[in-house]
């Protein structure tokens, strides 16, 4: 039953995106987010900015692919104090990000882009990462980061 709900959520998001593009102009062009008839906003402004941090030198890089609507891999591992970079490759047609609220981390990539940002986990545990674009986490864009002591 959950799969049917995700399917219909995805269909609804695609239709909303198409309607926004038809009513508001070209849609996703030059990093803009369709906001309604004739109105567009920069996607990085809409999401409250771009990636939170620059890549860290000499850090281990974890490659993550984003598509509509999921991450691959959806489970990541790290160690407390280990500098890591997350390289987000957006293979989708929509803007995606990877956000880990507990670490104040976000890396943002537009369609077809690859962006990298880094951070150092300061505590052990299991943390959820999501795509913070409205509706994307609800459509299945969630994953788990396990940080070992």
**pLDDT tens, residue by residue, 25-37:** 344 444 444 444 3
- 32, 41, 65, 146 alpha-carbon torsion, rounded to 10°: 170
Tokens 């809409």, residue located: 46
Is residue 89, in this structure, part of any structural domain at all?
A: yes
Is residue 53, in this structure, part of any structural domain at all?
A: no
How far apart (Å, rounded) are the C-alpha atoms in residues 65 and 102? 21
Neighbour-count burial of 54, counting CB atoms closer than 10 A to its CB (0-12 exposed, 13-18 middle, 19+ buried): exposed
Is residue 55, in this structure, part of any structural domain at all?
A: no
74 and 13 in a common domain:
no
129 and 74 in a common domain:
yes
Tally of structural domains, the chain: 2
How far apart (Å, rounded) are the C-alpha atoms in residues 146 and 149? 10
Is residue 51, in this structure, part of any structural domain at all?
A: no
What is the Cβ-side half-sphere exposure of residue 69, based on CA atoms within 13 angstroms? 24
pLDDT tens string 55-100: 999 999 999 999 999 999 999 999 999 999 999 999 999 999 999 9
25 and 87 in a common domain:
no
How far apart (Å, rounded) are the C-alpha atoms in residues 44 and 28? 12
Q: Using alpha carbons, select from 86, 88, 66 the residue that is nearest to residue 139.
A: 66
134 and 108 in a common domain:
yes
Is residue 118, in this structure, part of any structural domain at all?
A: yes
CB of 65 closer than 8 Å to CB of 109: no
Q: How is residue 107 written in tokens? A: 């890396």
- Indicate the pTM of the whole model: 0.70
| Domain with 69 in it | 60-148
64 and 34 in a common domain:
no
138 and 85 in a common domain:
yes
How far apart (Å, rounded) are the C-alpha atoms in residues 122 and 57? 18
136 and 86 in a common domain:
yes
Q: Would you report the helix, strand and coil content of the chain in percent, each value rounded to 5?
A: 20, 40, 40
100 and 127 in a common domain:
yes
Q: Find the mean pLDDT for residues 3-11.
A: 63
Give me the chain's average pLDDT, please: 80
User: The CATH number of the domain where 121 resides is what?
Assistant: 2.60.40.420
Is residue 52, in this structure, part of any structural domain at all?
A: no
34 and 72 in a common domain:
no
142 and 89 in a common domain:
yes
């Amino acid at each position: 039953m959950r799969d049917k709900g995700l399917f219909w959520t995805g269909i609804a998001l695609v239709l909303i995106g198409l309607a926004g593009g038809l009513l508001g102009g070209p849609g996703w062009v030059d990093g803009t987010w369709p906001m309604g008839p004739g109105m567009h906003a920069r996607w990085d402004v809409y999401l409250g900015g771009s990636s939170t941090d620059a890549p860290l030198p000499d850090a281990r890089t974890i490659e993550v692919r984003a598509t509509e609507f999921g991450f691959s891999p959806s489970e990541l591992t790290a160690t407390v104090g280990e500098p890591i970079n997350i390289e987000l490759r957006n293979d989708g047609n929509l803007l995606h990000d990877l956000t880990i609220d507990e670490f104040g981390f976000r890396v943002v990539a537009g369609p077809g882009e690859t962006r990298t940002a880094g951070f150092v986990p300061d505590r052990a545990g299991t943390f959820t990462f999501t795509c913070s674009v409205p509706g994307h986490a609800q459509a299945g864009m969630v994953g788990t980061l396990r940080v070992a002591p």
